[in-house]
Amino acid sequence: MEQRLLAHDHVKAARVALNPAGELRVWVRQHQPVARVVRSRAADAYLTDEGLLIPVSPRFSARVMTLSGPGAEALVLHEVPEKQLQELTQFLKYVYGDSFWFSQLIHAHVDEQLELALYQQVGKQVIAFGTAEHFVQKLEKVIVFYEEIAPRRDGTLTSV
């Protein structure tokens, strides 16, 4: 039974046991999606918190950031170097685990060099983020922009 559960793409770990009373106990741990890779000519996929790609399910839709663009396509085709995949995964895990960024960022366009253009839930600004390398420092700079620079502007943000 465990092997059958583990054969499911979304199952990370499974354990099945009978207790002394004869009751069947089943423990299942699922992969945690941190982003959905949206593809125009093929099936979408989820990127997990471990950097794995799993197919989307017709029965479940994770509330995660979406990714698109040639770099996102390269993820699905396993054409992204391991170091960049891990950096991107760590960035997405950070966004997913932070209540502010999780509510702010809804989409990222990933170009051929794996540079991110981040789209927000509120506002029309697109954040030209660069690669996921040093993402914590970059996000801190975005916070400084919103707290200190944007309030002083007249509302017409052209570039910073």
φ, ψ of residue 138 to 5 degrees: the values are -65, -45
Q: Is the model's pLDDT at 2 over the cut of 90?
A: no
Q: 145 vs 25, which has greater pLDDT?
A: 25
C-beta separation of 56 from 42 below 8 A: no
Does 158 have pLDDT greater than 60?
no
d(Cα 85, Cα 90) in Å, to the nearest integer? Answer: 9
How much is the pLDDT for 52? Answer: 92
**Residue 148 carries which DSSP code?**
I
Which two tokens mark 37? 């890779």
Contact 75, 39 (CB under 8 A): no
Tokens 């801190």 -> residue: 140
**pLDDT higher at 40 or 128:** 128
Q: What is the pLDDT of residues 8-32, one digit of tens each?
A: 888 888 899 988 998 999 999 988 9
pLDDT, residue 150, reads: 67
Where is pLDDT greater, at 124 or 44? Answer: 44
Task: Give pLDDT tens digits for 36-82.
Answer: 999 888 889 999 999 999 999 888 888 999 999 999 999 998 999 99
